[in-house]
Amino acid sequence: MKINQKNEVVFLTFDQWEDRAKLVAVHSTRIGGVSENGFTSMNLGFARGDNQDRVHENYRRFSEGIEVPLEKLVLSDQWHHNEILEVEASHEGMGIFKTRNYHDVDGLFTTLKELPLVTFYADCVPIYFYDPVLEAIGMAHAGWRGTASQIVLDMLRLFQKKGSQIENIEVSIGPAVCQKCYQVDQKVIDAMDFNFAIDHIITYSEEEDRYYIDLKNINKEILVHAGVLKDKIEVTHHCTACEEELFFSHRRQGNHRGTQIGVMMIRE
Ligand SMILES: [Zn+2]
């Protein structure tokens, strides 16, 4: 990923999409906002106890920095399930200026131009999908539950239902907790029940009787086994828990923390 700065706002973009002039695919950092304390400073979550006016100001700065229309943002409503909303023009502004008419949505998809999609993160895995032939975008939020229940497959199915050929689909996996920072118990390992091996991205600590897993690369494995071409999948090394300067992290900060967003949009 590349670190960009516009005015005060620092945001990340993907290397594989550097030359895609019409595609917006960015991930926020905690730099460039007006929030304070655990929310310092670019907190983009409304539901975590931060001052709402500050969060609105952060959205204003962020959307200006990445050049997307603030009033049209469509925000997900994440509950660690596999629901994906097909976003239409009628959804513009929902979750920020208008009440959502959808709930329990961990993925967003659209083929419409100038319609920015927003999903939320603070250690979970942001997964960005783009089909340059169909001109479609999608974003999926995957914690361990969404990884185990393979929300990425639901997103691929939706792209294919809309006319995508699997070999055209490009996927980028953004900042999330790294393997070293992500200790889990047996219950999580048992849930990771796939028809291929992931032993190489799970380590077990006998001392702690706990496992360490690489959620970003487990999602990559699922995508590869579903037929997405390996050279069309980018996985960032950035870790939300390791990199305190750049990111909020639930593992590091607990409940008193801000929230990052992922944004995708196709320009006209
Ligand atoms: Zn880490």
Confidence at residue 149, expressed as pLDDT on a 0 to 100 scale: 98
Q: How many angstroms does the Cα of residue 79 sit away from the middle of ligand 1?
A: 24
Q: How many angstroms does the Cα of residue 177 sit away from the middle of ligand 1?
A: 5
In the chain, how many domains are there? 1
Q: Which domain holds residue 224?
A: 2-181+216-266
pTM for this prediction: 0.98
With 0-12 / 13-18 / 19 or more C-beta atoms within 10 angstroms meaning exposed / middle / buried, residue 193 is: exposed
Give domain status of residue 59, yes or no: yes
Q: Where are the alpha helices (DSSP H) in the chain?
A: 52-66, 144-148, 151-161, 186-191, 215-225, 250-253
**pLDDT tens, position by position, 50-60:** 999 999 999 99
Question: What CATH number did the domain enclosing 42 receive?
Answer: 3.60.140.10
Confidence at residue 84, expressed as pLDDT on a 0 to 100 scale: 98
**pLDDT tens, position by position, 183-197:** 999 999 999 999 999
Q: How many angstroms does the Cα of residue 54 sit away from the middle of ligand 1?
A: 28
Cα atoms in the Cβ-side hemisphere of radius 13 Å centred on 217: 16
- % of the chain at pLDDT higher than 90: 100
Give domain status of residue 208, yes or no: no
